[in-house]
Structure 1
Amino acid sequence: MRFAPLAAFLCAATLALPLAAQSVMMRVEWPNTDFETRSVDLDEIRSGGPGRDGIPALDDPRFIAAADETRIGDMEAVITLEFEGDTPRAYPIRYLTWHEIVNDEVGGIPVAVTFCPLCNSAITFDRRVDGRVLSFGVSGNLRHSDMVMYDRETESWWQQAIGEGIVGEMTGTDLIELPSWMESFAEFRDRNPDGLVMDEPDWRRPYGRNPYVGYDSSTRPFLYDGEMPPHGIEPLARVIRVGDRAWPMQRLAEVEEVTEAGVTITWEAGKASALDTENIGAGRDVGMIRVRDAAGADMPHDVMFAFAYHAFWPEGEWMLGN
């Protein structure tokens, strides 16, 4: 695997001690976080390189008509939100790779659109908790190689892959996961000719370039010390997680549709991996997934790497089709 400049920097910068061994520095950087209230061992959390807000989350993004967007390639990945009563929206991975969180409001719902490149985890959350609207930033920390978010209101830390507060006042609180999915920009645009796509942010970033070149072809995940997945599944193979079950992407690519455990999962070719080539739209075709319930409604799900699923759902059910 060859890391592009950002990832090379991360490799050099993150050979640091676990956060528990940096408690003085940690408490200086996070003076308003209640570290005595937590559900995980702080030794499991480590710096990812950039510090707090070193990867800047986005707020109130601008949108343009999808038909007018000319910078994004047809096979480039976007995260799609189609909420009843509002115009469908696409959030390009070319921007989320460099920002990881977008705080927005769609159909009257305050949402956090999130993407962790190291786990390939793309999840959209409702930002409301007990009547309070939170806004999220990137802490700069990782647990099991997954992004640790924080909310700006209480400075509690949240695990992105599971949407749960793990350190601070919000420990044990679960965010509601909303239906969203990753697909190609062409798929979104063709289905939604009047849809909106997030405009390029006003930050100096090489948008459209993948800083993790070759990552999803590597043999081991970055900054991960946990167990590898069972059943001979490669750690960076993609799996479709619905609740606590996971279906290997390879299985879906072979059969194209599976109906099991009350869900129907379909696979279609035409979306580039955002973690393959340097040009984010030129990666190999890994296909795209839709997950629907028995009534045909889209369901919350995640297409993540197998190692991350096993880390956060060690007792989860592998849907191997055997």
Structure 2
Amino acid sequence: MASRFVISILFCSMIITASAQFKNTKNLPFTWKTDTLQHSVNLSEIQIVLPKGSFKSLDYPTFVGRSEGLQQFFAKEPVIVIEIGGLAKAYPLNILTIHEIANDTLSSVPILVTYCPLCNSGIVFNRVLKYQGKKRILEFEPSGMLRNSDMVMLDRTTETLWQQLTGTAIVGTYDSAQLDILPSLIISVSEFFTRYPNGKILSKKTGFAQAEKMYGHNPYTNYDTKTTPLQQFFKSDKVDKRLPAMERIVDIEYRGDYKIYPYKSVAKKGVINDTFNTKKVVLFYKPGTVSILDKNDITNSKEVGTVTVFNAVINNKALVFKAKKGAFIDDETHSKWDITGYCYEGPFKGKQLQIEPHGNHFAFAWLAFHPESEIYVEK
């Protein structure tokens, strides 16, 4: 009995200490069971914004096909797309604005689809964690916390805290563990069904009645028209001055180094052929896709377009591309490719460029976590 009492006192003491170290301006009760003695970041960098459980993740949700999907969703709204084993799924970013996380499977692979609207950061991870020689399948939910304005996730097994933008565990049992990023694309609904006519899109019938009323509307009205992020989550004096804070960028990683490409640079050229650390990559831009962080009714939102990133090598040959009349054409064979990296006409017809793992973000958020990144400069 005495030993249990001592353990209880120590546990309560740990919670009180952790609560004091986190930034908790609302004085919310600390109900997380995270092992805060293990951490690789300063706990004061983490801000408690909402009580645990405030965001309802989507767990193994329902999907619909092309016909119903085109009726449910605006053709130009963005979706995060993942294809594994010939099967493709699309997750509308507007729905993820409300839920932020979807735990799902695709071709028997456990996947974690994430979107942080404050950072405009959409990334897909493998939910299988390889840790200390063992594999564990985890499920996640938003923790109610932020760091550098980016969502902090928690796994339901240990309530370890994970940084969404990097996929790294920052506090808890799995501290410093890393989730594997899965290649994905952010394209429009119409582009998804053009490329994947048999693909499935997340249904608006998620089972959350209040949330269902919000789909199609943006709770962060005019957010991406601002010049700085929300000050209560990211102070303007912390913004990296090399790029406008709310500039949209995509990132690539190779051999531990990072490079980012501003949307405006890709949009200006239509195609960027580049070499990064000896890797040949190509970026495509296509207009049409709208922002989901502009107007309240996303059908009235401004167009920001789509940027996708691929390995430019196919059949051991590095291709060079140009944009022409809505298509992407390689100089070598004059084959035509679409925004998803699929060749639909020419000698390479039926071939698919390998998607380069990348994310879409606001510049301020990416550079807060990776200030060492090389920034593409227009030539």
**CA-CA distance at 1:246 after TM superposition:** 0.5
* Matching residue of 1:33: 34
TM-score (normalizing by structure 2)? 0.76
What is residue 297 of structure 1 aligned with on the other side?
Answer: 354
Say yes or no: does 1:308 pair with 2:313. no
1:267 corresponds to: 285
SS in 2 for 1:35: coil
Q: Which moved more, 1:274-283 or 1:133-142?
A: 274-283
Q: Secondary structure at the match of 1:80?
A: strand
Q: Is the 8 A contact 1:273 1:281 kept in 2?
A: no
Per-residue deviation, 1:27? 7.9
Residue 44 of structure 2: SS of its match in structure 1?
helix
Supply the distance in 2 between the matched residues of 1:110 and 1:148 (Cα, whole angstroms): 20
1:211 is paired with a residue of what secondary structure? Answer: coil
1:219 equivalenced with 2:227 (yes/no): yes
By how many angstroms is 1:281 displaced? 3.1
- The question of 1:228 aligning with 2:246 is answered no
Give 2:215's match in structure 1, choosing from 189, 207, 210: 207
- 8 Å CA contact 1:78–1:91 kept in 2: the answer is yes
Q: Hey, what does 1:3 align to over in structure 2?
A: none
Letter in 2 for 1:258: I
1:257 and 2:293 correspond: no
Instruction: For 1:42, give the aligned amino acid.
Output: L
Higher relative contact order (CA 8 A, sep 6+): 1
Q: In the alignment, is the contact (CA less than 8 A) between 1:18 and 1:47 conserved in 2?
A: no
Matching residue of 1:84:
85
Aligned equivalent of 1:42: 43
Aligned-residue CA RMSD in angstroms? 1.8
Mark the structure with the bigger radius of gyration. Answer: 2
Q: How many angstroms apart in 1 are the aligned matches of 2:292 and 2:168?
A: 26
Give 3-state SS (helix, strand or coil) of 1:219's partner. coil
State the 1:53 CA deviation.
1.9
Partner of residue 110, structure 2: 110
Amino acid paired to 2:95? Y
- Runs (5+) with no aligned partner, structure 1: 1-16
1:72 aligns with 2:67: no
Query: Secondary structure at 2:300's aligned position in 1?
Result: coil
3-state SS of the aligned residue for 1:82? strand
What is the CA-CA distance between 1:166 and the residue it aligns to?
0.2
Partners of 2:137 and 2:170 lie apart in 1 by: 18
Deviation, structure 1 residue 189: 1.2
Q: Does 1:174 align with 2:178?
A: yes
Tell me which residue corresponds to 1:160.
164
Please give the secondary structure, in 1, of the residue aligned with 2:84: coil
Alignment correspondent of 1:198: 202
- TM-score, normalised with respect to structure 1: 0.89
Question: Which amino acid is 2:47 matched to?
Answer: R
The question of 1:239 aligning with 2:270 is answered: no
- Contact 1:67 1:189 (8 Å CA) reproduced: no
> How far did 1:197 drift?
0.6
Q: State the Cα distance separating 1:22 from its structure 2 match.
A: 4.7
